Amino acid sequence: MNLRVCDSRSLCEPLVEPGLGLRRPYPHFRTPYTPHSQRLAPAKVSSPPLGLSRLLFPFSPSNEASSKWLDAHYDPMANIHTFSACLALADLHGDGEYKLVVGDLGPGGQHPCLKVLKGPTVLTETPLPALPAAAATFLMEQHEPRTPALALASGPCVYVYKNLRPYFKFSLPQLPPNPLELDLWNQAKEDRIDPLTLKEMLEGIREKAEVPLSVQSLRFLQLELSEMEAFVSQHKSKSIKRQTVITTMTTLKKNLADEDAVSCLVLGTENKELLVLDPEAFTILTKMSLPSVPVFLEVSGQFDVEFRLAAACRDGNIYILRRDSRRPKYCIELSAQPVGLVRVHKVLVVGSTQESLHGFTHKGKKLWTVQMPAAILTMNLLEQRSRGLQAVMAGLANGEVRIYHDKALLNVIRTPDAVTSLCFGRYGREDNTLIMTTRGAGLIIKILKRTAVFVEAGGEAGPPAAQAMKLSVPRKTRLYVDQTLREREAGTAMHRTFQTDLYLLRLRAARAYVQALESSLNPVSVTTREPLKLHAVVQGLGPTFKLTLHLQNTSAARPILGLLVCFLYNEVLYALPRAFFKVPLLVPGLSYPLETFVESLNDKGISDIIKVLVLREGQSAPLLSAHINMPVSEGLAAT
């Protein structure tokens, strides 16, 4: 192993790779020469010259001779606390030198800041007013020089930087406050209620109201009794403002799919909305609603042509939206909470808390599932443009970083600490660089060897083996040939006949549906005044059956009283102790089991239908009904 130390005007050349010859230096990690004694000093260990990293760090995470990666840098005390959404690589000055942008949370969530790294060293560090949620780089305009802008989402704002200087600040529009909360603070302003009463009423509003409380009220509810009066006297004159915050952010191409095309910012907010911003004026181009708060976003397409948005939300579902939809078009229901979302070509790869990766189409069809050996901490995309490869990187809690192409394992990287964020791309002047930060705030930089080729190491990939087996297709018969000729000659008439029958089928189905609604033959009520749901269960072998009716009030907050249940049945075949009884008060959200017994009187194995009607006192038309197909009494049949 040869090592050559150069003067300060040259570069430190790396070691000789076995079988590869001498690799070219790392010009993007250029570090001035320092004496060997200073280089080993504790103050200099955090950022050594990358050409000497293996000499200074003999406990390097992997062996380069057998690995596909070169260990460029490892600093266990880099003091970087972040996650994958807050990492971005971009040529911020237009000089071809790509830099790393880090939205740092700070130790313990204190003192958040924006860091820009050049090589292993921190170039700039800017404090932030709130914790960062995401970082992204994008082109705002087509004018020369075409340097990308940096967008950092923090709290309710997006801070845009150009040439690492503040350029624009976009704030989310304020939301209307809760009217009951506003009235309470107005009463407190006029000294008509005391702080203790204000706290009790605000707690009641927080539990029942659909509109959340403002930050001012939430802070007030966290105070002790001795601090309430001073807080009220200080804030009662201030106006109530309800401000949402940004939870996730990504970029969407405006009208071209080129790599250097203008992009829009896509924001996910705490009030369950997605906003698409204009890249020049920073106005809201479109707004979409979601059933839950988005935490991960993936986009494809162009805003002016056609695009798709995939949003993983806190309710454990992934919602797919398209350009012409203001609400989700498809929904993917997961069995556990998502911990990452990556789009690989046309497949959505989702990591879940059940230590597994899942592949879905954009319409929600599950393609595959891969079980992980440990919990997934972070995910990101690995794209090697020179070989046209796209894969998923998953950082695990056991200190491994696994790379998958579909469900085939390509590579495993072992690190000295669990990886919490991943970023792959061009860094400095090297195209394929992997940047990782660890749970202990460390920084690991690896470079993919130019001769490295990813080979599927395991797992089922592609179609199953049975698909390659030839089927014994029978020879064409005379009947098949005649039928084919008939379809060619009368294809138009056959299509018209099919369309006519299809329209008739739809018409009959619509008429039957309308008839069921008018006669209340469905088990779910369609009226908004009495939203009810009925479900019946029959238990037993006979001749005595247990019939259980589950009646539920599906309204949000209004109880229902004064309902009756009536059974219509053939008295020759069945006997019921009570064919008509009252229903107790139905509390919203609860399912009430109503039990009765049915006695089968026929010994010839004949069964019939029992009709269940739910009525309102004083009305002849039923609210809803159910037809129960009674089973054959096996007890009487056996005798």
pLDDT at 514: 80
Most confident region among 114-118, 193-197, 210-214, 320-324 by mean pLDDT: 114-118
Q: Give per-residue pLDDT as tens, 422-452.
A: 999 988 888 889 999 999 889 999 999 888 8
Q: Give per-residue pLDDT as tens, 450-463.
A: 888 887 654 444 45
Instruction: Grade residue 30 by pLDDT with cuts at 50, 70 and 90.
Output: very low
Instruction: Grade residue 311 by pLDDT with cuts at 50, 70 and 90.
Output: very high
Q: Which two tokens stand for residue 148?
A: 């990308």
Q: Give per-residue pLDDT as tens, 252-308.
A: 998 888 888 889 999 999 888 899 998 888 888 889 889 899 999 999 888 888 888
Q: Report whether pLDDT(2) > 70.
A: no
Q: Report whether pLDDT(10) > 80.
A: no
The whole-number average pLDDT for the span 587-602 is 86
From the list 345, 341, 346, the residue with the least C-alpha distance to 357 is 341
Q: Report whether pLDDT(594) > 50.
A: yes
Q: Respond yes or no on whether the N-terminal peptide bond of residue 338 is cis (omega within 30° of 0).
A: no
Residue with tokens 């996650």, as numbered in its chain? 83
From the list 146, 381, 164, 337, the residue with the least C-alpha distance to 260 is 146
Q: Give per-residue pLDDT as tens, 534-547.
A: 888 888 887 888 98
Ordered alpha helix ranges (H), 124-247: 179-189, 195-208, 215-221, 225-235
* C-beta separation of 217 from 199 below 8 A: no
The whole-number average pLDDT for the span 10-16 is 36
Kind and range of the H or E run holding 54: helix 53-56
pLDDT at 281: 84
* Cβ partners under 8 Å of residue 266, min gap 6: 249, 250, 251, 252, 274, 275, 276, 277, 297, 299, 309
Angle between helices 195-208 and 179-189 (to 10 degrees): 180
The whole-angstrom separation of Cα 181 and Cα 236 is 12
Q: Report whether pLDDT(337) > 80.
A: yes
pLDDT at 350: 93
Tell me the helix, strand and coil percentages in the chain, rounded to 5.
20, 40, 40
Q: List beta partners, residue 581.
A: 565
- Please give the residue that has the higher pLDDT: either 365 or 42: 365
pLDDT at 64: 54
Instruction: Grade residue 504 by pLDDT with cuts at 50, 70 and 90.
Output: very high
Instruction: Grade residue 600 by pLDDT with cuts at 50, 70 and 90.
Output: confident
The CA distances from residue 130 to 28, 127, 156, 245, in Å, are: 32, 9, 9, 10
Q: Report whether pLDDT(498) > 90.
A: yes
The whole-number average pLDDT for the span 569-577 is 88
Q: Report whether pLDDT(473) > 60.
A: yes
* C-beta separation of 586 from 613 below 8 A: no
DSSP at 457: -
Q: Give per-residue pLDDT as tens, 94-113.
A: 888 899 999 999 888 888 89
pLDDT at 13: 36
Q: What is the arrangement of strands in the sheet containing 400-405, beginning at the earlier edge strand? A: 376-384, 389-396, 400-405, 408-414
Ordered by start, the domain boundaries in the chain are 179-234, 524-629
Instruction: Grade residue 518 by pLDDT with cuts at 50, 70 and 90.
Output: low
The whole-angstrom separation of Cα 585 and Cα 600 is 31
Task: Say which CATH architecture domain 524-629 belongs to.
Answer: Sandwich (2.60)
Average pLDDT, the chain: 81
pLDDT at 435: 92
Q: Report whether pLDDT(583) > 60.
A: yes
The whole-angstrom separation of Cα 178 and Cα 186 is 12
- Number of helices (H), then strands (E), belonging to the chain: the values are 9, 36
Q: Report whether pLDDT(616) > 90.
A: no
Residue with tokens 């004083």, as numbered in its chain? 618
DSSP string across 502-551: HHHHHHHHHHHHHHHHHTT-SSB---SSS-EEEEEEEE-SSSEEEEEEEE
* C-beta separation of 270 from 263 below 8 A: no
pLDDT at 38: 38
pLDDT at 468: 66
Q: Give per-residue pLDDT as tens, 123-168.
A: 888 888 888 999 999 888 877 777 888 999 988 899 999 888 888 8
pLDDT at 619: 79
Q: Is 355 left (phi over 0), alpha (psi -120 to 50) or beta?
A: left
Instruction: Grade residue 635 by pLDDT with cuts at 50, 70 and 90.
Output: low
pLDDT at 457: 57
